Amino acid sequence: MSDIQGLSIDEGMEITLHFTLKLEDGTQVDSTRDKAPATFQLGDGNLPPGFEQPIKGMSAGESGSFAITPEHAFGQHNPQNIQVIKREDFTSEDPEEGMVMSFADAAGGELPGVIKSVDDERVEVDFNHPLAGRTLTFEVEVIEVKPATTH
C-alpha cells in the first residue's frame, strides 16, 4: 500500500472534499457541510473548470476560499436567454412568477427556465442559469486526494 499523503490535486486524481458556495452577500447557495463530502475525479465534469483551477495543487487537510467570477462559474447573464412564450402554450400547469419549470430544448433534452413575469397573454421565461452573472465564493476543505482508479 503506497503512502497517499502529500499528493496534490491534479489531473487523474480523485478528490474528496467539503465545499460551500456563497453569493456576494454571503448567502449560502450549496454546501456539503451538512451531508457527505463530495468525491469526484478532476476533469470529470462534476465541477466547472473555473472551480477546478483554484483547487489544483491543494493537498489533504488544506482549506481555501476562492472568488469565482461569472466567466469561470455559470457565465454572464444573457438577455437573449429570456424568451416570451404564449400563455396558451402552458397547458399542464399555471406558470407563476419565480417558479422554475422544465422545457424541452431543440435537441429534445430538458431545459430549466425561471418564470419572470406572467400576464393574460404572455409568459416571460429566463433560461439563464440562476447563478449566471454572479461572482461566487467557493470555500473548500480537502479531505483526501488519491490516484483515481478506473472501474
Are residues 140 and 5 in contact, defined by beta-carbon separation less than 8 angstroms? no
- The H or E element containing residue 51 is helix 49-55
Distance between CA atoms of 127 and 125, rounded to whole angstroms? 6
Same domain assignment for residues 68 and 91: no
Q: Is residue 51 part of a domain?
A: yes
Query: Tell me: the pLDDT tens digits for 41-53?
Result: 998 888 888 999 9
Same domain assignment for residues 91 and 58: no
Same domain assignment for residues 61 and 42: yes
Say what the pTM is. 0.77
59 lies in which domain range? 13-74+132-147
Query: Tell me: the pLDDT tens digits for 85-127?
Result: 999 998 878 899 999 998 887 888 888 899 999 999 999 999 9
Q: Can you give the CATH number for the domain in which 91 is found?
A: 2.40.10.330
Q: Can you give the CATH number for the domain in which 66 is found?
A: 3.10.50.40
Give the pLDDT confidence score for residue 150 in this predicted structure: 63
Region 38-67: mean pLDDT is 93
Those residues with Cβ within 8 angstroms of residue 98's Cβ, 6 or more apart along the chain or in another chain: 114, 115
Give the pLDDT confidence score for residue 91 in this predicted structure: 82
Total domains in the fold of the chain = 2
